[in-house]
């Protein structure tokens, strides 16, 4: 197969953060699913595709054949901000829709993304179930927690990435740069920011009183659950449901819509066609594009360079080993 051109599907697509790297690598998206109407609107305006709705209502036979499956399945059942109910939350069971599609369509590879808390959820049992069920489909599966801070954006955002291959393929995780650009690279001038995003003088002063060390460089002020404030040269993870004062630029204002997208690595050409409130939610739910780009490049390179084994029909032997098929 020519991996300079391939087909992929984009499940739980959000605003398309996982799609962008695979588009860049020569892929063609043949199917998209996203139920949120505002995310659908953003997706259509930026990619020209209207996502299908609820994946639980879509029969797998109606999904086109594809080479790669992508899915940033809902993280709220496993996240710190959510209640951590996992599979007890109906959103947590959406993994099994991914499983049924993989089982029916048998893509050559897949990439799944979720919050790092998935790994330790329920004492690690939830993650074990996911890995076992993916391997039971005959895939070689790799997983690793990666931090966006190591992939070119000033945002500390740790996510579990799971990649799988239908054949035995040696996959190497990207190492990352282990440095990040200064916040100044993504921040807009205060004069260009909507005045409504600025905190009142009272709130600003209260933050100054709580912040022990005020830096002389651009910073994001993060208030933790105890009320303590840290001024950092990077942003903590964007969150869809965070409070007003969770992240403040230089202790004075909220991040603008464009700044939030920049923190996730979206290009400035990415159109914003929804309200600030909706964009904030979508950015918080999205992936960090450069991190996914690094993983995608290694995935496609591994698929491109793999030397296929040639066998006569008489010599073909299928061997079951730990739930995986090798030839």
Active site (catalytic) residues = 75
Residue 68's DSSP bridge partners are 8, 109
Euclidean distance between CA atoms 173 and 162, whole angstroms: 11
Distances, alpha carbon 212 to alpha carbons 106, 223, 236, 256, in Å: 55, 12, 18, 25
Strand residue runs (E) in the chain? 6-11, 27-32, 68-71, 109-115, 140-147, 155-156, 158-165, 220-223, 229-232, 235-236, 247-249, 319-321, 324-326
Neighbouring C-beta atoms of residue 264, cutoff 10 Å: 26
Q: Residue 58 — φ and ψ, nearest 5°?
A: -110, 120
Strands 140-147 and 27-32: unpaired
Which letter does DSSP use for residue 33 in this model? B
Two tokens, residue 252: 């004075």
């Amino acid at each position: 197969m020519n991996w300079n051109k391939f087909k992929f599907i984009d499940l739980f697509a959000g605003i398309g953060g996982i799609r962008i790297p695979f588009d860049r690598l020569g892929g063609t998206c043949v199917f998209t699913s996203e139920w949120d109407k505002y995310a659908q609107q953003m997706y259509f305006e930026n990619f020209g595709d209207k996502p299908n709705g609820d994946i639980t209502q879509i029969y797998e036979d109606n999904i086109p054949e594809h080479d790669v499956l992508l899915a940033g399945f809902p993280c709220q059942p496993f996240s710190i901000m959510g209640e951590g109910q996992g599979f007890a939350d109906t959103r947590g069971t959406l993994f099994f829709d991914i499983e049924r599609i993989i089982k029916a369509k048998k893509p050559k590879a897949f990439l799944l993304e979720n919050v790092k808390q998935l790994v330790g959820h329920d004492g690690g049992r939830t993650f074990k179930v996911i890995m076992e069920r993916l391997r039971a489909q005959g895939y070689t599966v790799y997983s690793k927690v990666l931090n966006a801070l190591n992939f070119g954006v000033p945002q500390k955002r740790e996510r579990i990435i799971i990649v799988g291959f239908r054949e035995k393929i040696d996959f190497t995780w990207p190492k990352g740069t282990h440095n990040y650009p200064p916040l100044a690279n993504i921040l807009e001038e205060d004069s260009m920011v909507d005045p409504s995003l600025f905190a009142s003088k009272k709130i600003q002063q209260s933050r100054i009183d709580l912040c022990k060390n005020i830096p002389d460089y651009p910073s994001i002020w993060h208030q933790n659950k105890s009320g303590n404030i840290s001024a950092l040269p990077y942003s903590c993870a964007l969150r869809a449901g965070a409070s007003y004062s969770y992240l403040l630029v230089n202790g004075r204002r909220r991040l603008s819509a464009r700044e939030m997208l920049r923190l996730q690595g979206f290009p400035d050409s990415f159109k914003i066609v929804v309200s600030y409130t909706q964009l904030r939610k979508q950015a918080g739910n999205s992936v960090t594009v450069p991190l996914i780009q690094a993983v995608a490049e290694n995935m496609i390179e591994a698929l491109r360079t793999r030397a296929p084994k040639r066998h006569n029909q008489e010599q073909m032997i299928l061997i079951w080993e730990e739930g995986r098929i090798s030839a």
